[in-house]
Chain A
Amino acid sequence: MGIIVGEDTRILVQGITGHQGSFNALQMLKFGSKVVAGTSPGKGGTEVGGIKVYNSVEEAMKEGPNATFISVAAPYVLDAAKEALYNDIDLIYILTEKVPFHDTMKIVNLARSMGKLVLGPNGPGATTPFSCKLGIMPNQIFRKGGIGVISRSGTLTYEIVNLITESGLGESTVVGLGGDPVTGMNFIDALEMFKDDEDTEAVVMVGEIGGTAEEEAAEYIKNKFNKPVVAYITGRSAPPGKRMGHAGAIITRGRGTAESKVKALEEAGVRVGSYPHEVPKLLKEVLG
């Protein structure tokens, strides 16, 4: 089964004629995802790798999409997300980085009040091997298995998924939450889904400095989660007040340090690795 994306996911790509849009639309197709349509205002009637391009989401709805991949430039993301919401799309994935967080706040709060799901911005999306990839994760790193992965990062997620796959284990669904201060989903949202997913035997959390999402997840794991969790937290060596690349990865006013996250997770019974390559080893230990 897996979570968020699967056999039933029908993907629309908003901004399909752009560099990112077209490249990733084809990569998703290659992976086996159902990419049913794309939009690009003014380019309706054309095709990208066999995928039909429409002028608007409203026109593209005739192909029956229920998820969208948004890769328009940051100033236009709010508009693109609203267009998807007005057309009743259930899952909105935003690849774009540097989206003003006030725009993200509007998108996320609107979507929640409408019962829709937002993934990102500034994340690699979600992949359920091998039924659906919505996003930009490299196709070749997956193996089908029982490990659910939740991460705030991109490349580091690939590194860890690759290590899991190389160790002989495999993934149920890999979820990239996004590296911004505000994202559509957080660790708890994904944990709640993995809790009820039959395919998921254990979960890996890849966290980083900034915010308190990992601490809140630790509280949730302690009280409500039923499966073993392994974690890796980056930013142990980051100085306070400096953004480490991700807008969300910053230690401010003594909050959001790696130490506090590791401590909270360990107190909740989570095994926390010091290096990425320790993750598969810890997984094998907790799975017995």
Chain B
Amino acid sequence: MNLYEYQAKDLFRKFAIPVPDGAYFEDSEHLSWNKFPVVVKAQVLTGGRGKAGGIKFANDQMELKEKAREVLGMTIKGLKVKGVLLEEKLNIKKELYVSVTLDRSKRKDLIMASASGGMEIEDVPDSEIEKYWVDPVIGYSGFIGRQIAMKMGLNQDQARQFQDIVQKIYALYESYDCELVEINPLTILTDGRIVAGDAKVVIDSDSLFRHRDIPDNPADRTKLEELAYLRGYSLVELDGNIGVIANGAGLTMATLDGLTLKGLKPRNFLDLGGTDDVEKVVGAFEILKEARITALFINIFGGVTRCDTVAKGIVEAKKRVGFSTPIVVRLSGVNEDVGRQMLKENGIGAYSNMMEAIEELKKVVG
């Protein structure tokens, strides 16, 4: 789960990582700020807000109010700006980069730093990035920051501040179950101080049970995804018109791929998961009823999820949810014969083979 910059900087303060003076507001009528010049930063969960005009400067109260109102009304890459973070304007001498993240392949924590900050780290040549892999069982130690600072060519005073920051962002990464803590730019000011210009924190959603102080950001999800999320379904919204229900993330993805390869456009990813509950199937129909679909494709390989349960759920849903769009079903695995028979009796076509089912769907939607 991505945090907004203002949330990330609140966490930084908690760990005594230096950040600029700042305040967060969600409407432009009640701004309280008296340090000018000021930077008005759009709070939105996407990159590239600067290029989109989401970062503005103001020199007095009147200008601030005007700029804040402007930014608050913006939509950046389809996302409405949630609020503005006001911050003192920094006198920057140099920009650095530092982050801690997970290296999936090496199964270690990875600290990255560069003397070339301010741009996307992907655009920095590998030779200008210092890397250190930390074994999570052994943990961080002071020499790591020292070693990186020396390789980056920082002077003694800068190195001292930098090491302190690296140690603290690792502590934040570890204690808040982060996937990423990134400071870009990490700014060296003209007065010599090093301060976090930006702050990006991504927390592992599966760990939220032990971080009650972190609010769940529904802004990560679309309206339909939020509806599904609240009811306990794993749904991802796509831009096609064929509704999809399948079981298991891998099979659901394979279903989307199969449809796409045959020229059909899926509306969604919906993984029913391992369930033996008729109501779970009915609930999926209720959600997809809100999704403006022209046909529904159901692909089940029965194991824990039995085919007869799914068939029962489909019949039940058709009655209760009032589903009028055409439905094509593929049922295979545990109790498939009973399931297909049940559907047939209720006038719903069912196949044992996924490809045959997709061909039938193609005919149905023309």
What is A's interface to B at a CB cutoff of 8 Å? Answer: 74-75, 98-102, 105-106, 108-110, 113, 136-138, 140, 151-159, 162, 179, 181-182, 186, 206, 208-209, 211-213, 216, 232, 234-239, 242-249, 253-254, 258, 274-277
Contact = CB atoms under 8 A, between A and B. Distances in A.
A158 B303 contact: yes
Given A157-B250, A243-B236, A244-B252, A275 B206 contact: no
A239 B238 contact: yes
Given A102-B136, A105-B102, A162 B301 contact: yes
A106 B206 contact: no
Interface stretch (B9-17, B147-155, B255-263, B320-328): B255-263
A238 B253 CA distance: 8
Given A75-B209, A182-B104, A110 B250 contact: no
A245 B252 contact: yes
A156 B174 contact: no
Given A101-B102, A155-B248, A109 B107 contact: yes
Contact of B136 (A106, A181, A206): A106
A136 B304 CA distance: 9
Contacts of A182: 102, 104, 107
Q: Specify which of A75, A211, A275 lies most central, judged by the most chain B CB atoms within 10 Å of its CB.
A: A275
Contact of A247 (B109, B206, B209, B271): B206
Interface string B324-366: 0000000011100000000000000000011100000000000
B250 A109 contact: no
A108 to B, nearest CB: 5
14 contacts: A74-B206, A151-B250, A153-B250, A153-B251, A157-B250, A162-B332, A234-B257, A237-B253, A238-B253, A242-B236, A245-B249, A247-B206, A249-B249, A275-B261
B157 interface: no
B248 A153 contact: yes
B355 A275 contact: yes
B207 interface: yes
B251 A274 contact: no
B253 A155 contact: no
A102 B207 contact: yes
B251 A155 contact: yes
Contacts of A75: 209-210
Given A213-B105, A237-B260, A179 B250 contact: yes
B200 to A, nearest CB: 12
Contacts of A238: 253, 256, 269
A248 B355 CA distance: 27
A181 B204 CA distance: 11
Interface of B: 102, 104-105, 107-109, 122, 135-137, 174, 177, 179, 204-207, 209-210, 234, 236, 238, 246-254, 256-261, 266, 269, 271, 301, 303-304, 332-334, 353-355
B256 A237 contact: yes
A94 to B, nearest CB: 13
Contacts of B105: 186, 211-213, 216
Given A109-B136, A244-B269, A248-B104, 7 more contacts: A100-B210, A101-B204, A155-B246, A155-B303, A156-B301, A235-B253, A245-B236
Contacts of A153: 248-251
Contact of B174 (A102, A157, A186, A254): A102
Contacts of B254: 156, 159, 232, 234, 275-276
A98 B170 CA distance: 23
A136 B248 CA distance: 13
A236 B260 contact: yes
Contact of A245 (B135, B271, B355): B271
A101 B206 contact: yes
Contacts of A239: 238
Given A102-B207, A243-B236, A152 B250 contact: yes
Contacts of B303: 136-138, 155, 158
A247 B104 CA distance: 12
A156 B250 contact: yes
A98 B1 CA distance: 14
A155 B105 CA distance: 24
Given A75-B209, A179-B249, A208-B253, A159 B301 contact: yes
A249 B250 CA distance: 9
Contact of B261 (A154, A206, A274): A274
A47 B86 CA distance: 63
Contacts of A277: 353-355
A253 B180 CA distance: 13
A237 B257 contact: yes
B135 to A, nearest CB: 6
Nearest to A243: B236
Contacts of B249: 153-155, 179, 244-246, 249
A100 B253 contact: no
The 7 closest A-B pairs by CB, nearest first: A153-B250, A155-B248, A245-B249, A156-B250, A100-B207, A237-B260, A234-B253
Contacts of A109: 107-108, 135-137
Contacts of A99: 206
A101 B173 CA distance: 12
Given A182-B104, A237-B260, A243-B236, A159 B136 contact: no
A186 B204 CA distance: 21
Contacts of A212: 104-105
A20 to B, nearest CB: 9
Contacts of B210: 75, 100
Contacts of B260: 236-237
A254 B121 CA distance: 13
B107 A105 contact: yes
